[in-house]
Structure 1
Amino acid sequence: MANPSASIALAVTIAAALLSVTAPAHAVEVTERETVRVCADGNLLPYSNERMEGFENEIARLIGEDLKKPVTYYWWPQTIGFVRNTLRARQCDLVMGTASGEELMQNTNPYYRTVYSLVYRTKSGIRAESVGDPSLKDARIGVVEKTPAVNLLRLYGITRTEPYQLNTDTRANNPARDAIEDVAAGRTDAAVIWGPIAGYFAAQQTEPLTVVPLVKEPAGARLQFNISMGIRSDEPEWKHWLNDFIKRRQDDIDRILLRYHVPIIGPDGALKTAAAIEPPGYRMDQYRAPTPAGLSGASTVTLAELRRLIEHFPDTRLVDVMPAPPRPADRPEPAVWVPPPRRSLPGAVWLPNTGYGSLSGEQERYFRAGLETVSHGDRAARLVFFCEPDCWMSWNAAKRAVEWGYGNVYWYSDGAMRWQEAGYGLETVQPFTGGPSN
């Protein structure tokens, strides 16, 4: 099976290995490709979906940008027969996520290593860092059948479990997500779920959940796995190019994974964190460049998480800080010049030119007035800052809001462009008129 966590089981229980498949004769090497053709599930967040909202969609986009070629998709549910009907049928040339050692495909070098995680309600009183913690002795724990998590529970003699089906139609079901939602709702006390899924869906719950990557379990409990990309075995140049890409762009890949709350284990065995690669101060120049994975004091949200946030909390305020175009040379002061309107997320307030690393006194007064108006004077209001992809302006603005004492700051780094690319509408907004912005 291509994506190990798509079936929530990794390569450990790959039933698809029983398939007998032969590959067509012609190999297409990297120099011959007109597009980057990706095989993926169209409804399997946090990995991928047809709106390009998953982290594998984003990493595939990086590959396309590096090759200067468009990325196209062949969608197929992550079930038994996935590889046979996609990669081996030559409907596509790349599977974005597969456990290293997967025998149905040739593997690239790993591009991340991750681990199963324990999830419980933050307010439950549980403070466990291992499934063997005494506080979990009488807990009812959700687990997906036939995954390594089942073996871990048996190792500790835990029998009060809530099982979730392994093999399912991903177009209609996501059992691991259900397990996380059951913890949030109090139907179970905890769950042991594949880390990328646990982190992503735990962050979407309105009930605060604690996610503990299980890096302290006994060595015999195999819970950590390397994840590679899958290709056909007769394309060595393609493999070499992808391995070089992974090496060159590892920092960018890590930033994407961390934004999606994927627990990443570094070569030293320690967990990587967004804070570890976060710059100490404001970004002062080159504002259109790859941004950090997160922001201390703020919650980083993906496109899908932002949609869920707006759905559950309609009073969420959206703050667009995309800079306005500069005053044209033929309109010098004191001639009146009004910046053209911007296409932004519905309901957003546009505070242009407030995301620079250093604000003039006038710009700071404008930004403070805008936030005061947007928040209705409530420092606990939910404020979401954004501009466009790879835009430090939104990171700077969110950081400044945190430092000014706003307690519910969110940073949406994908920006208006990704929102529109996912098929969601934009609306025309005018600059906030509460004060000067230039």
Structure 2
Amino acid sequence: MLAWIVTPAAALLSLAVLAAPADAVEVSDRASVRVCADANLLPYSNDRLEGFENEIARLIGEELQRPVTYFWWPQAIGFVRNTLRARQCDLVIGTASGEELMQNTNPYYRSVYALVYRTRSGIRAESLGDPALRDARVGIVERTPAANLVRRYGITRTEPYQLNTDTRANNPAADAIRDVAAGRTDAAVIWGPIAGYFAAQQTEPLTVVPLIKEPAVLRLQFSISMGIRAEEPEWKHWLNDFIKRRQAEIDRILLRYHVPLIAEDGTLKTAAATEPPGYRMDEYRSPVPAGLSGAATVTLPELRGLMERTPDLRLVDVMPAPARPADRGDGAVWVPPPRLTLPGAVWLPNTGYGQLSDAQERLLRSGLDVVSRGDRAAPLVLFCERNCWMSWNAARRAVEWGYSNVRWYSDGTGRWQEAGYPLEPALPFGSGASN
């Protein structure tokens, strides 16, 4: 919930505390998981289900074996009144812990405000107190902890962005990041999940520094919980148990969206910590790491942005081909049926196993060479399906073979299709299709 995350909860407590409903709905009574969310508030949520809160809601639905439905309302003052309190929905996926308008679950992540600047600017600051920022023009969202931070360091050249706005038309925090990339400002101090997500989408390289070294007197870190109505103890206990059991998977989702995560010891969690030491050799359809060293992990919205602004982007699908039918002997000609894949993608089937045969390795090497036109710096995106280790294996091999601009799209074609984007048929590379 953007408004409750970027400003202290106390600032919004002029509204009445959520009253206990007389007709509480507990877990066993739910026909679906009804989520209260904003239809246009990435990286949290949108109506194409592209946000990390959408991903977490999907996990809840799978656990309960219930469909997930949404009641959409812009994230602004009155959100809780018009959604949860109006009983249009039963769960707010993200709210600041201690927010008294809702009953809170246990927190499922803790994040921090971040400093963002252009990587090529020459700035190397880890704190807003760095002398390099003394005369910088710094973007901040009004009435957030960032405003207190710039005042503490005597920074007067600020670019203010509005806090309360209609999210159907504006995202001021995202605008602040875009202005840094465009050079209209020198830096910005923005809530970490927003900073990390939108910084990763800019063509201009940006550095994101989670401000974990600032004095403790300045509250820049916030724990985030889920919000429900009062007097629904069974629902709260179930959600708390879900968070405890699925915390590692929740962390992987958040790290894929570039959310700065604060561990219990105050250090930052990293995507690299979720990676195994070698290739995945079995159980290829299971939860995958949050990232891949040497490659950039991209979410669905990030991939869409890349496809729009990178004409030479190469998409490589490594989903295995269907098995040869038992009634087709080794001597019979058989071509696997077309694979429905992302538009323009080249299909290199069976090249994502942990151990490749000589023929499979030749196919991957030759396929990457052709799609990259021999340029090891060409932008590549490797994928298959959601929770498919084969794309992780193949992307790792591409990095090890010297490709320097590799991206791994871990959500795959299923996530693309769920968001309403079209798929196109493709034949295996080298089968005669016009790859």
Q: Secondary structure at the match of 1:184?
A: helix
Question: One-letter code of the match for 1:248?
Answer: R
1:429 paired with 2:426, answer yes
2:261 to 261, 264, 280: 264
CA distance in 2, matches of 1:350, 1:177: 35
Q: Is the 8 A contact 2:5 2:95 kept in 1?
A: no
1:387 paired with 2:396, answer no
Question: One-letter code of the match for 2:385?
Answer: E
CA distance in 2, matches of 1:34, 1:301: 33
Which runs of structure 1 show a deviation greater than 4 angstroms over 4 or more consecutive aligned residues?
Answer: 19-24
Q: Is the 8 A contact 1:263 1:271 kept in 2?
A: yes
1:174 paired with 2:171, answer yes
Name the residue aligned to 1:302: 299
Q: Secondary structure at the match of 1:399?
A: helix
Identity %: 78
Q: Secondary structure at the match of 1:290?
A: coil
Deviation at 1:20, TM superposition (A): 6.6
Question: One-letter code of the match for 2:130?
Answer: D
Question: One-letter code of the match for 2:401?
Answer: W
Q: Secondary structure at the match of 2:392?
A: helix
CA distance in 1, matches of 2:325, 2:28: 43
Q: Secondary structure at the match of 1:18?
A: coil
Deviation at 1:376, TM superposition (A): 0.8
Gaps of 5+ in 1: none
Q: Is the 8 A contact 1:366 1:434 kept in 2?
A: no
CA distance in 2, matches of 1:11, 1:245: 27
Q: Secondary structure at the match of 1:264?
A: coil
1:228-256 alpha-carbon deviations (Å, 9 max, x no partner): 00000110000000000000000000000
Deviation at 1:145, TM superposition (A): 0.2
Name the residue aligned to 2:47: 50
Name the residue aligned to 1:315: 312
Q: Is the 8 A contact 1:13 1:147 kept in 2?
A: no
1:318-362 alpha-carbon deviations (Å, 9 max, x no partner): 000000011121113122211111111100000000000110111
Name the residue aligned to 1:230: 227
Question: One-letter code of the match for 1:71?
Answer: V
Deviation at 1:15, TM superposition (A): 2.9
CA distance in 2, matches of 1:239, 1:8: 21
1:95-132 alpha-carbon deviations (Å, 9 max, x no partner): 00000000000000000000000000000010000000
Deviation at 1:16, TM superposition (A): 5.8
Deviation at 1:17, TM superposition (A): 4.1
Flag the 1:36–1:158 CA change in 2: closer, same or farther, 3 A.
same
Question: One-letter code of the match for 2:228?
Answer: I
Name the residue aligned to 1:109: 106
2:60 to 45, 59, 63: 63
CA distance in 2, matches of 1:42, 1:102: 22
CA distance in 2, matches of 1:19, 1:349: 56
Q: Secondary structure at the match of 2:224?
A: strand
CA distance in 1, matches of 2:83, 2:35: 9
Name the residue aligned to 2:277: 280
CA distance in 2, matches of 1:220, 1:287: 47
Question: One-letter code of the match for 2:157?
Answer: R
Deviation at 1:283, TM superposition (A): 0.3
CA distance in 2, matches of 1:128, 1:278: 29
1:417 paired with 2:414, answer yes
1:362-411 alpha-carbon deviations (Å, 9 max, x no partner): 11111111111111111111110010100001000100000000111000
CA distance in 2, matches of 1:317, 1:23: 54
CA distance in 1, matches of 2:379, 2:212: 33
Mapping for residues 113-132 of structure 1, pairs under 5 Å: 113-132=110-129
Q: Secondary structure at the match of 1:126?
A: coil
Question: One-letter code of the match for 2:366?
Answer: A
Q: Is the 8 A contact 1:8 1:176 kept in 2?
A: no
CA distance in 2, matches of 1:314, 1:39: 37
Name the residue aligned to 1:88: 85
Mapping for residues 164-203 of structure 1, pairs under 5 Å: 164-203=161-200
Deviation at 1:12, TM superposition (A): 3.6
CA distance in 1, matches of 2:263, 2:246: 15
Name the residue aligned to 1:333: 330
Name the residue aligned to 1:151: 148
Gaps of 5+ in 2: none
Deviation at 1:192, TM superposition (A): 0.3
Mapping for residues 127-142 of structure 1, pairs under 5 Å: 127-142=124-139
Flag the 1:126–1:367 CA change in 2: closer, same or farther, 3 A.
same
Q: Is the 8 A contact 1:7 1:166 kept in 2?
A: no
Deviation at 1:23, TM superposition (A): 5.5
CA distance in 1, matches of 2:184, 2:322: 52
Name the residue aligned to 2:359: 362
Deviation at 1:14, TM superposition (A): 4.0
Deviation at 1:155, TM superposition (A): 1.0
CA distance in 1, matches of 2:149, 2:169: 28
CA distance in 2, matches of 1:133, 1:180: 20
1:375 paired with 2:366, answer no
Q: Secondary structure at the match of 1:272?
A: coil
TM score, norm. by length of structure 1: 0.97
Q: Is the 8 A contact 2:21 2:230 kept in 1?
A: no
Question: One-letter code of the match for 2:25?
Answer: V
Deviation at 1:24, TM superposition (A): 4.2
Q: Is the 8 A contact 1:24 1:89 kept in 2?
A: no
CA distance in 1, matches of 2:64, 2:260: 28
Flag the 1:86–1:289 CA change in 2: closer, same or farther, 3 A.
same
CA distance in 1, matches of 2:254, 2:214: 23
How many pairs are equivalent? 432
CA distance in 2, matches of 1:28, 1:358: 50
Deviation at 1:22, TM superposition (A): 4.6
Q: Is the 8 A contact 2:38 2:46 kept in 1?
A: yes
Name the residue aligned to 1:347: 344
